[in-house]
Chain A
């Protein structure tokens, strides 16, 4: 396969959002005809941004795209489609009330004005038999299952003449049988000489289906290698791959003072949690966190970490087992913009978000505005928050300063358990160090549950680490230097 010329090359693609966030940083990608190319990476690694550039939704700030060796520039999705690039989005773009044929006809060029559907239905049958995509052209979208809707999206892309298909996390919504069926279709298209880019963060299926793997991390290519390089039995190589995704390149040296351990502040026993669709997201896990220790929860996103935190903080019902928290919880949520703070409210108003009922800040009916102002000023001074004043809206703060504000608020609550969810995600180096220092400092008063998608962060800070995979947890006790491989394997369920 490597003898053929690439059908598609992306060279030094860089995309910068709002002047500072490098979503893609000098990314190179080669895709050959008849190849299934897996694009791996954590949430926010830049996979979707890169594919949106390829399919014409975004324009790259730097770099070039070549099709068959010729440079191309896509100003719109339509131009990308005309060049044979088709994207199947994670969230389907279909009109539920319309039929399969009508949805496929939508936006398709070269159809006659009258009776276009007959032509569509004819061509549809052709694709259906060729790829074994049993689907009824007259069925309405809302009647179809998720797997069938995905087939419609794939046909939509194929009928427009796509030679490069991009599938954005195609398996995340499918049942195991539907995944099998999808893989059979993909293999047929591969045999036809089509190139397929398969975006995912599930390592297992990548090894099953792909010919080539590119791993993105923090907007850069962390690794690019043929799948055959990872022999099925070589677990070490697989672990290496998992570690590339979560980043272990830098073993960080963080000075940790010794803190005496106290009583357990969080006790989780045989905990069972259902997700929104009613299936088990957390399958009977047990662990405890003691005052003075940092317990890390790591794993590839979507293995039950979210529901676990929601259950501990009381935002999701528990379906079995128990979860006991001693004292109050301080909680630094992952979504600092819409959950941890209210962007349009002032810094002062945000500084009491979780504590406004406290008698220092409000009486029975009214807020104590002067003491809230005092409080916000105190937090700004104590945590070195760069702000023009306590009455400016929180949305004017930079990411690092907003996180400091949330940190300041949650650390000052004298809670016995601090839950920090992705506390340094997307922050600059200075802010990261500050957050780490503050969390380590907090061990004097509290036990800390650190949920992180960044393994190097967990390795540097935690006393114990629980690796989550498919709703189960495996606990490792530090020091971790000789356990990294095993942790990596657990992250992919081996």
Chain B
């Protein structure tokens, strides 16, 4: 008897996906446990501590929801883009441009107070959409790979923000720190109770998820996406314009990331500060949010919460045990590693067969 690993042609069922994901989380926790042991920390104690401070506490739970907001906005948008086989790696930069535009609206526009918050989101959306639209033009006009351009535009956005907070937008009341001035109260988003959940952004994110679900199931755009992503040749045959489709998809995805940026500055920071503290890598993590949800936008709600949990758990470990911050990155890396591994393993099966022949 021998065995062979072969490709499983069947699409894995929901049960298989779920159990593989849970299993990979357990395996990742086991490996992270070894790292804890090396630091002389009892892993069981560490995990109970992390769980009680995240899922087991009101503050922990609220932080998970808070961090899932930008992940959900970016992740749902990216899911739509990836369904079109356009590889937008630029959500990080689109968040920053959204944050930048919202900051301009909050500090330098003279909108009346009651219009300020809607304008802030509108500007965030437009800035993110423009940042997402540029790579589609570069691809359609000059055939430049969107993977390169979206990624590089993240750095452009980063340095634009850095330039502004060190230069023209540097706050006069900030005693030399590289921040802008604080937003006026009319530009701050309302929060739920004493949490940091800025509920308007959360509602926008949930509406976006619903909208993307509807686009994919019953809109003309969704039909076009399905055709061109599965067979570009059939798309041409049916007269579907690849670039027109990608254009709309990137407007939605870039705009969603821009909304996330606007929500972060208006809901959490109330000023524009170092880009790494605003986008926090949400734009990159959102790629995983979209990817783990496969093609179902509703699942992004779960995967965004999962990723947010990993973020918050990392912060807790750092604070409770005084471990170096790099340990957090190692842990999140391991969790993602096992999740990706399980994704690959689901597509294969082991078949037992006798050796002859």
Q: Is the CB of B234 within 8 A of A362?
A: no
A35: Cβ under 8 A from any B Cβ: no
Q: Which of B77-85, B127-135, B236-244 contacts A (4 or more CB under 8 A)?
A: B236-244
A322 proximity list for chain B (CB < 8 A): none
Interchain CB contact (< 8 A) of B234 among A353, A365, A366: A353
State which size class the interface on A falls in.
20 to 34
Residue B226 contacts which of A339, A345, A362, A365 (CB distance < 8 angstroms)? Answer: A345
Please determine whether B220 and A338 come into contact, CB atoms closer than 8 angstroms: no
Q: Mark B224-249, 1 if CB is under 8 A from A, else 0.
A: 00110011011011110000000000
Measured between beta carbons, the chain B residues less than 8 angstroms from A340 are 234, 237
**8 Å CB contact of A367 from B219, B231, B237:** B219
The residues of B that contact A365 with a CB separation of less than 8 Å are: 219-221
Contact yes or no, A366 B219, CB < 8 A:
yes
Q: Which of B218, B219, B223 has the most CB of A within 10 A?
A: B223
Known: A354-B239, A366-B218. A344 touches B223 (CB 8 A): no
A295 to B119 CA separation, bound complex (whole angstroms): 62
Which listed residue, A335, A344, A362, touches B233 by the CB 8 Å rule? A335
Q: Is A91 interfacial (CB 8 A cutoff)?
A: no
Other-chain contact of A345, B218, B227, B233 (Cβ < 8 Å): B227
Contacts of A344 in B (CB 8 A): 226, 230
A365 (CB) vs chain B CBs: closest residue: B219
CA distance A335 to B222 in the complex (A): 24
Q: A349-B223, A353-B238, A356-B238 are in contact. Are A339 and B231 (CB under 8 A)?
A: yes
Residue on A nearest B236 in the bound complex, by CB: A315
Instruction: Identify which of B218, B223, B233 contacts A356 (C-beta below 8 A).
Output: B223
Residues of A within 8 A of B219 (CB): 365-367
Decide if B237 touches A349 in the complex (CB within 8 Å): no
- A342 to B236 CA separation, bound complex (whole angstroms): 12
The answer, yes or no, to whether A343 is at the interface (CB within 8 Å) is: yes
Nearest CB in chain A: distance from B80 CB, A: 15
Which B residues touch A362, using CB under 8 A?
A: 220, 223
A339 touching B233 by the CB < 8 A rule?
Answer: yes
Chain A nearest CB from B142 CB (Å) reads: 20
- Give A356 to B235 CA distance when docked, in angstroms: 12
Determine if A469 is an interface residue (Cβ-Cβ < 8 Å). no
Nearest Cβ on chain A to B30's Cβ, whole angstroms: 38
CB pair B220–A342 under 8 Å, yes or no, is no
B223 touches A339 (CB 8 A): no
Does the CB pair B234–A342 fall under 8 Å?
Answer: yes
> How does the 8 Å CB contact mask read for A364-380 relative to B, with 1 for contact and 0 for none?
01110100000000000
Central interface residue in A341, A342, A365, A367, by most chain B CB within 10 Å: A342
User: Is A333 located at the chain interface by the 8 A CB criterion?
Assistant: yes
Return chain A residues, CB-CB under 8 Å to B220.
356-357, 362, 365-367
A198 contacts the other chain (Cβ, under 8 Å)?
A: no
Q: Which residues 309-367 in A have Cβ within 8 Å of B in the complex?
A: 315, 331, 333, 335, 338-345, 349, 353-354, 356-357, 362, 365-367
Contact of A333 among B222, B226, B237 (CB under 8 A): B237
Distance in angstroms from B213 CB to nearest chain A CB is 13
Measured between C-beta atoms, what is the minimum distance from B343 to chain A in Å?
19
From known contacts A366-B219, A367-B219, A369-B218, infer whether A354 and B227 are also in contact, taking CB-CB under 8 Å: no
Q: In the docked arrangement, what's the CA distance between A80 and B220, Å?
A: 53
Cβ contact within 8 Å between B230 and A353: no
Q: CA A338 – CA B238 in complex, angstroms?
A: 12
Residue in A331, A345, A356 whose CB lies within 8 Å of B237: A331
The answer, among A315, A342, A356, A357, for a CB contact under 8 Å with B231, is A342
| In the bound complex, CA of A437 to CA of B222 (Å) | 36
Contacts A315-B236, A331-B237, A367-B218 hold; do A338 and B231 have CB atoms under 8 A apart?
yes
| Residues of chain A in range 295-319 having any CB-CB distance to chain B below 8 Å | 315
Provide the bound-state CA to CA distance between A338 and B223, in Å. Answer: 16
Find out whether the CB atom of B227 lies under 8 angstroms from the CB atom of A343: no
Contacting residues, chain B, for A331 (C-beta < 8 A):
237
Hey, which chain B residues are within 8 Å of A369, CB to CB? 218
Beyond A354-B239, A366-B218, A367-B218, is A341–B234 a contact (Cβ under 8 Å)? yes
Known contacts A315-B236, A356-B238; decide if A342 and B230 are in contact (CB<8 Å): yes
Q: Which residues of B contact A345 (CB under 8 A)?
A: 226-227, 230
Residues of chain B within 8 A (CB-CB) of A339 are 231, 233-234, 236-237
Across-interface contacts of B227 in A (CB, < 8 A) = 342, 345, 353
Chain B nearest CB: distance from A366 CB in Å? Answer: 5
Residue of B nearest to A369 (CB): B218
Residues in chain B near residue A349, CB distance under 8 A? 223, 226
State in angstroms the CA–CA spacing of A340 and B230 once bound together. Answer: 13
Chain B residues whose C-beta falls within 8 Å of the C-beta of A342 in the assembled complex: 226-227, 230-231, 234
- Once A342-B226, A342-B230 are accepted as A-B contacts, the answer to whether A354 and B218 lie under 8 Å apart by CB is no
- How long is the Cα–Cα vector from A24 to B340 in the complex, in angstroms? 43
Q: Measured between alpha carbons, how far is A471 from B27 in the docked complex, in Å?
A: 64
Q: Mark A221-250, 1 if CB is under 8 A from B, else 0.
A: 000000000000000000000000000000
Q: How far is the CA of A463 from the CA of B233 in the complex (A)?
A: 31
- Residues of A contacting B237 with CB < 8 Å? 315, 331, 333, 339-340, 353-354
Decide if B223 touches A367 in the complex (CB within 8 Å): yes
Hey, which chain B residues are within 8 Å of A354, CB to CB?
A: 237-239
Q: Which of A335, A338, A349, A353 has the most B CB atoms < 10 Å from its CB?
A: A353
- Chain A residue nearest to B239 (CB atoms) is A354
Query: Which of these, B218, B226, B233, contacts A338 with CB under 8 Å?
Result: B233
Q: How far is the CB of B10 from chain A (nearest CB, A)?
A: 13
Minimum distance in angstroms from A444 CB to a CB of chain B: 25
- Measured in the bound complex, the distance between the Cα atoms of B236 and A333 in whole Å is 12
Provide the residues of chain A in CB contact with B231, threshold 8 Å. Answer: 338-339, 342-343
Cα distance A369–B220 when bound, in Å? Answer: 10
Complex Cα gap A339–B227 (Å): 10
Q: Nearest-CB distance from B215 to chain A (Å)?
A: 9
| B232 to A, closest residue via Cβ | A338
- A252 to B238, alpha carbons, bound, how many Å? 34
Name the residue on A nearest B220 (C-beta).
Answer: A362
Provide the bound-state CA to CA distance between A362 and B218, in Å: 10
> Given the complex of chains A and B, what is the CA–CA distance between A341 and B226 in angstroms?
12
Residue pair A343, B223 in contact (C-beta under 8 Å)? no
Complex-state Cα separation, A117 to B237, whole angstroms: 50
Closest to A341 in B: B234
As a 0/1 sequence over residues 121 to 138 of chain A, the CB contacts with chain B under 8 angstroms (1 = contact) are 000000000000000000
Distance in angstroms between the alpha carbons of A248 and B230 in the assembled complex = 39
A365 nearest CB across to chain B (Å)? 6
Shortest distance between the CB of A207 and any CB in chain B (Å): 36
- Check A338/B236 contact, CB under 8 A, given A345-B226, A349-B226, A356-B223: no
Task: Say how far B83's CB is from chain A's closest CB, in angstroms.
Answer: 12
Q: Which of A335, A354, A356, A369 has the most CB of B within 10 A?
A: A356
> A340-B234, A365-B220, A367-B218 are known contacts; what are 12 more A-B pairs with Cβ within 8 Å?
A331-B237, A338-B234, A342-B231, A344-B230, A345-B226, A353-B227, A353-B234, A354-B238, A362-B220, A367-B220, A367-B222, A369-B218
CB within 8 Å of A: which residues of B? 218-223, 226-227, 230-231, 233-234, 236-239
The 5 closest A-B pairs by CB, nearest first: A339-B233, A353-B238, A342-B231, A342-B234, A339-B237
Q: List 14 contacting pairs A-B, 8 Å CB cutoff, sorted by A.
A: A335-B233, A338-B231, A339-B231, A339-B234, A340-B237, A342-B230, A344-B230, A345-B226, A354-B237, A365-B220, A366-B218, A367-B219, A367-B222, A367-B223
